[in-house]
Amino acid sequence: MVDLPTIPYDLDDDLMARARGDETPRVRVYQFDHVAVVIGRGGHQDLELRRENIAADDVPLYKRPGGGCSVVLDPGNVIVSVALPLPGIGHIKTAFNAISDWIIAALAEIGIPGVVQHGVSDLVLHQRKIGGSCVYRTRGLLYYSTTLLCEQKMPLVDQYLLHPPREPEYRQGRPHAEFMGSLHDLCGISLNDEFLAILNLKLSNSLPSLSTFSDH
């Protein structure tokens, strides 16, 4: 089967433009509003996607600027995106880890303790992936986005994604349904306006802490 056409994932382009324009860090927290598949910048459709199912269900296929394997988004997901003015083109690993730690701290403050970072980019609770992150670096700006699985519709993941061509060690070959977990199932969190507002407030208030980094 030939590759499916992709749509640029540009939902945060304005966030990046504003951060670049006034050199001020920006954060956005939002609930995704439809079912979609997102493939990474260097992703391979034949290795990652069930293209026949995606085409048959007329599901949009986005291509994000950052890397990583493909994901399924649905209205049970919350996206946290950060646009961080950062001189040059380096500091990627330091910034990535610092932003992940910042999100983990905010989750703990709103009643979701115990989240850790595993693999390259996963947020994990009780050995289940509850968030996947990507980063895009261009001169003067770093963009980070993570998807929190609040009330993820797990059957859709198997419907549209193959087992990934590469995986973190902690996955241990588990299929999607045994590897991924939702915040609702793991700790009783409900995705509603209150949750979005509290998470946004915690992240916004602590955003200035992300202003500077230094590589190791």
pLDDT surpassing 60 at residue 48: yes
Question: What CATH number does the domain containing 114 carry?
Answer: 3.30.930.10
In a domain, 203, yes or no: yes
Could you tell me the residue range of the domain that residue 117 belongs to? Answer: 7-161+172-210
pLDDT (tens digit, 9 = 90+) per residue, 78-113?
999 999 999 888 888 899 999 999 999 999 999 999
pLDDT surpassing 70 at residue 215: no
In a domain, 110, yes or no: yes
Mean pLDDT across the chain, nearest whole number? 93
Euclidean distance between CA atoms 5 and 11, whole angstroms: 18
Euclidean distance between CA atoms 51 and 135, whole angstroms: 25
Count structural domains, the chain.
1
3-state SS class at 137: strand
In a domain, 167, yes or no: no
User: What was the pLDDT predicted at 216?
Assistant: 38
Structure confidence at residue 214 as a pLDDT band (50, 70, 90): very low
In a domain, 215, yes or no: no
Structure confidence at residue 212 as a pLDDT band (50, 70, 90): low
Specify the higher pLDDT residue, 125 or 69.
125
pLDDT (tens digit, 9 = 90+) per residue, 127-149?
999 999 999 999 999 999 999 99
In a domain, 1, yes or no: no
All residues at 6 or more sequence positions from 68 whose CB lies less than 8 Å from its CB, including other chains:
40, 43, 120, 121, 132, 133, 134
Per DSSP, the residues of 52-65 read HHHHHTT--EEE-S
In a domain, 216, yes or no: no
Q: What is the pTM of this model?
A: 0.94
Going edge to edge, which strands form the sheet with 26-31?
Answer: 26-31, 77-86, 140-149, 128-138, 122-125, 116-118
Specify the higher pLDDT residue, 20 or 216.
20
Per DSSP, the residues of 110-135 read TT-TT-EEETTTEEEETTEEEEEEEE
Report which secondary-structure segment, H or E, holds 28.
strand 26-31
Structure confidence at residue 66 as a pLDDT band (50, 70, 90): confident
pLDDT surpassing 50 at residue 210: yes
In a domain, 103, yes or no: yes
pLDDT (tens digit, 9 = 90+) per residue, 176-191?
999 999 999 999 999 9
In a domain, 154, yes or no: yes
